[in-house]
Amino acid sequence: MRRFDEPILVTRPYLPDLETFKAGCEEIWRNRWLTNNGPMLKRFEGRLADFLGTPESNISLFVNGTLALELGFYALGLSGAEVVTTPFTFVATSHALKRIGATPVFADVDPETLCLSPEAAEKAITPRTKAIVPVHVYGHPCDVEGFARLGEKYGVKIVYDAAHAFGAGLQAYGDMSMYSFHPTKLFHSCEGGLLVFRDESLREHLAELRNFAIKGELSCVDVGTNAKMNELQALMGLECLKAMPEILASRAELHAAYCAAFAGHSGVKFLDPARFTTSGVAGYSPNYAYCPVLLRDFETRERVCIGLREKCNVFARRYFYPLLTDFEPYAYAKGTCPVAEDAARRVLTLPTYFGLSTDDARAIAENVMEML
């Protein structure tokens, strides 16, 4: 069993070259402009649009992913509606719905990706349903074609929580997608959130909503909030964006190293991140933002998770356990999604980040196998 001298955390943020970052700070100092739609923010929006191949008129930046989701849901008119979504996610997905007065209706997940299943979602649709909110969980692409069919058949919006999926090439799908730029994501801007939307007429409303919905000095057109990204965040995002190819390559390498190290072990099940990826045609693929494995049962998962901490100094995490429906605000749906419930009790997300070596990944895998 290998004990690491320094703690190995589930993730570490990519950090750009400090001297280049300082040069960007000097520019901010010269501008003496720190937030409220500043020049760094505009440059960052431009570079993101280029990176995604999406017009700037169809994207909008926010201070974090949660407020981006909340304002996106609000701008799409989902207040008061039922929205079909997944319990296998971070609490922010459902919190953002609840906070605008929508009701999350939970449907089960696909066992191979742990993303919302279109078949299960369809069964949960009622006349009050206005949207479906799937999550590209761990950066695994959802069955985007299946959801597009549901959107058309029932006339409901498809809004992706793509918090984990930046760089996976999924921006052309759904009415809207939200990317989180939190430091625990493979790409970040210290904190941040990006909305990509199909209807460009939303851009102006979203820009108002993130700035209190004030218009000029003399009018206020809606109940907005303060969700503006500041200039230092935008600078961090600009610098990290330069490294996206290396960041993506390192995640894919680590995923391959873990797969090879565990190859054929009956006690460790890998998901199928590329299950809904029609490579070459649609141009999207998993970004391997996280490395989840399913262990045999709850007791094994707990033993391995605690053993890694205590014996090996490795801090794997149980994303996403407890399941949302175990939490008080969503307990009304407890017991309704058996696939998600089983996965939450068996999942362990292993460390993966730019700077972790494939040798370290192999050593972590060997430690796990010794504890099975």
Residues making contact with ligand T4K (CB under 6 A) = 9-13, 64-66, 89-90, 92-93, 135, 161, 163-164, 180, 182-184, 193, 315, 319
Q: Which residue has the tokens 């742990």?
A: 114
Provide the minimum distance between the beta carbon of 264 and ligand T4K in the complex, in angstroms, as a whole number. 30
Element containing residue 3 per DSSP (H, E): none
Closer CB to ligand T4K, residue 149 or residue 315? Answer: 315
d(CA 3, CA 133): 41
Residue of minimal Cβ distance to ligand T4K: 65
Give the number of other Cβ atoms within 10 Å of residue 187's Cβ.
26
Closer CB to ligand T4K, residue 141 or residue 193? Answer: 193
CB 87 within 8 A of CB 333: yes
Q: What share of the chain is helix, strand, coil (3-state, %, to 5)?
A: 40, 15, 45
Chain centroid to Cα 324, Å, comes to 16
Element containing residue 52 per DSSP (H, E): helix 39-52
DSSP assignment of 233-298? HHHHHHHHHTTHHHHHHHHHHHHHHHHHHHTT-TTEEE--TTTT--TTTT-------SEEEEESSH
Beta bridge partners of 219: 215
Least Cα distance to 113 among 275, 252, 253, 240 occurs for 275
Closer CB to ligand T4K, residue 13 or residue 267? Answer: 13
Provide the minimum distance between the beta carbon of 216 and ligand T4K in the complex, in angstroms, as a whole number. 29
Provide the minimum distance between the beta carbon of 355 and ligand T4K in the complex, in angstroms, as a whole number. 11
Provide the minimum distance between the beta carbon of 261 and ligand T4K in the complex, in angstroms, as a whole number. 21
Provide the minimum distance between the beta carbon of 150 and ligand T4K in the complex, in angstroms, as a whole number. 20
Given phi > 0 = left and psi -120 to 50 = alpha, else beta, which region is 269?
A: beta
Provide the minimum distance between the beta carbon of 222 and ligand T4K in the complex, in angstroms, as a whole number. 22
Provide the minimum distance between the beta carbon of 310 and ligand T4K in the complex, in angstroms, as a whole number. 16
DSSP assignment of 301-354? HHHHHHHIIIII-EE-B-TT-S-GGGSGGGGGGTTS-HHHHHHHHHEEEEP--T
Closer CB to ligand T4K, residue 4 or residue 33? Answer: 4
